[in-house]
Structure 1
Amino acid sequence: MRKLPNETRSETLDRVPHRKCILTGESSPAEQLVRLALGPDNQVAPDIREKAPGRGAWIGVDRTALENAHARGQLKAALARAFKDGKLDIPDDLAEQVERGLERATLDRLGLEARGGSLLTGSEKIANAARQGDIVLLLHAADAGQDGSGKLDQAWRVGSDREGDKLRGVILPVDRQGLSVALGRQNVVHIGITDKRAAGRVSHMLNRWRHFIGSGGADDEVPRKVA
């Protein structure tokens, strides 16, 4: 099967698929980029879950860069090259669609992990599990109190034998109300994930979302204690 130019797969030594951002030309692991798909009506739309059929184009920039590229016509030119078609319908709110899609995918992922039993809520439960070394990933709602978050961070460091380290939970770009709705539970302020594979799945979704909205830099990614 012939490979499409903008979806050429280059693989590192550990065989992680890479994709090239159509705006920067930089190649990165596919899990760090967002796929854009072209519908039958020639409308460009985000394909967050990477399931849309046909040709795709990949972007690895944040929201501000995407909006600037759209306003300057650079996005249309790059997409025209990627899709081999200049007759494209790019919605004005494409960046907003991408952000909403990444948020929905992340919250849906958390909901699935909650139903699968690999996710804890409630400060006391999380603290106990953290001190026992059972927490793989710790998350805090955007409106969580610093005192409560700090105590759980410390319990996580103790249980991970990393006292004195900078290990801390990640502040999510969503408040407790949003988390409570996503998980179908009341007053979800903190989340502890106890399964390594579940933590990896959540990390993947969350890092893409946070990168796109500019929440945290390269040194502030979701901790990946999933090896």
Structure 2
Amino acid sequence: MISYGMAEVLRRLRLDAPGDPTPAWARVLGAEGVALSLLVGAERAPEPLWCHPELSARFEELQFTLGEGPGPDAIRTGSPVLEPDLDRVRPERWPALLPSAAKLGVHGVCCFPLGIGAIRVGVLTVLCEGERRMGAQQYTDAGALAAALTGAFLGGDLHRNGGGSALGIPEPPSVLHRPAVHQATGMISVRLGVSMQEALLRLRAHAYGSERPLGEVAQDVVSRRLRLNDDFDGDFDDDGSGPSSPDGGKG
């Protein structure tokens, strides 16, 4: 059974309470932070809708840049990924993420996918406090919140109240938080003749190799400060002349 606090959270969602709801979610869950991301675009990349506090936003960006972690695993498997103590996770599971998460000060993460069956719409990420792990009640509450959000975004009737409207939360974002990433992914896909998924993987590989945020690398691709180079299997050259193309990068 969900807690009184989570019942109030879901009630406020149904009432379409204004503002970012994640501070209340974090308080009820006893969490260090909470983030909600939705899957958008042809590459089904996670777009942050709500994050609290800044640490949650930075961890979401880290997972997005590396393409690994509890969030991507939850999206891929459709099952919750519960790692309340990252120090106990095998290093080979997320070799790039674990040391970077430690530097951020993230101690534990629990991710709950939003979806039904093979359908995935997003992921709810809960950061666990270093001195306070999520208990059984918090897991139950987080699962109930993820289920309610799933029903709302899929437009299901399970969460309608007496014939009224579904949970009063925003539609998936029409304005992308990461437009450069989506644009750069499309450019790489067309230039190298690869799928959008592979193009995003190559973009991530360059960001990881250069130890830069994915958004910064994407912006350099879009502005043609990074040149696509087939000789290096789709890697990029730092070259102010722009992308290698018949028009010398002027088009």
Q: Is TM (by shorter chain) over 0.5?
A: no
TM-score by length of 1: 0.23
